[in-house]
């Protein structure tokens, strides 16, 4: 924090680079990332001036500890609300994306989609994972909306055309 300021009035994207660099040692040790979201600006400025003008780190150290404790609390709450990642979805993320995108781009209705997804799973997945795959892809299709199409690399026009057939 002293040698590479977390928040600085840099031009361009250097602020983001600085924030990322400040979090690298924490993330490497599997610690919570740092966020200065609630730190009052005058206190942070005073801490930085203490370093630049007086070569004293005490106030910045105290601000860092206070902010880091708050960051850990916030990170823990968000982590608990998200739950653990689903290993199945992680393993087949690209296949799920491919199947959903194919259904939409090919303008399939519900019955065509069911046949396609089963055929897709039979061709590309091991037998023990096929049923779960079909279930996951069908769930994704049923919950697909304009706000989620980007993860499937779909254009709004493709989604709109598919919605007319799907309904």
Q: Report how far residue 30's alpha carbon sits from residue 8's, in angstroms, rounded to the nearest whole number.
A: 25
What are 80-112's pLDDT values in tens digits? 877 788 899 999 999 999 999 999 999 999 999
% of residues, the chain, pLDDT over 70: 91
pTM above 0.85, yes or no: no
Residue 154 pLDDT exceeds 90: yes
Instruction: Write out the H or E segment, with its range, that includes residue 75.
Output: helix 58-82
pLDDT by residue (tens digit) across 109-147?
A: 999 999 999 999 999 999 999 999 999 999 999 999 988
Quick check: 100 and 142 in contact, CB under 8 A? no
Span 11-52, pLDDT tens digits: 555 667 777 777 888 889 988 888 877 888 899 889 889 988
Q: Do 58 and 50 form a contact (C-beta atoms < 8 A)? A: yes
How high is the pLDDT of residue 1? 62
Burial class (CB within 10 angstroms; exposed 0-12, middle 13-18, buried 19+) of 158: middle
Per-residue pLDDT, averaged over 64-69, amounts to 90
132 contacts 117 by C-beta, under 8 angstroms:
no
- Phi, psi (rounded to 5 degrees) for 127: -55, -40
Instruction: State how far the Cα of 157 lies from the Cα of 160, in Å rounded to an integer.
Output: 5
pLDDT band at 157; cut points 50, 70, 90 = very high
pLDDT at position 12: 58
């Amino acid at each position: 924090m002293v040698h590479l300021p977390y928040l600085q009035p840099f031009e361009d994207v250097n602020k983001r680079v600085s924030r990322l660099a400040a979090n690298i040692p924490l993330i490497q040790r599997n610690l919570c990332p740092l966020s200065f979201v609630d730190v009052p600006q005058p206190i942070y400025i005073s801490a930085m001036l203490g370093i630049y003008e007086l070569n004293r780190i005490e106030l910045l150290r105290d601000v860092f500890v206070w902010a880091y404790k708050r960051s850990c609390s916030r990170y823990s709450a968000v982590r608990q609300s998200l739950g653990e990642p689903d290993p199945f979805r992680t393993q087949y993320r690209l296949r799920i994306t491919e199947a959903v995108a194919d259904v939409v781009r090919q303008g399939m209705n519900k019955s065509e989609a069911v046949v396609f997804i089963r055929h897709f799973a039979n061709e590309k997945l091991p037998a023990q994972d096929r049923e779960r795959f079909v279930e996951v892809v069908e769930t994704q299709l049923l919950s697909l909306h304009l706000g989620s199409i980007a993860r499937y690399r779909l254009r709004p026009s493709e989604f709109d055309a598919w919605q007319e057939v799907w309904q």
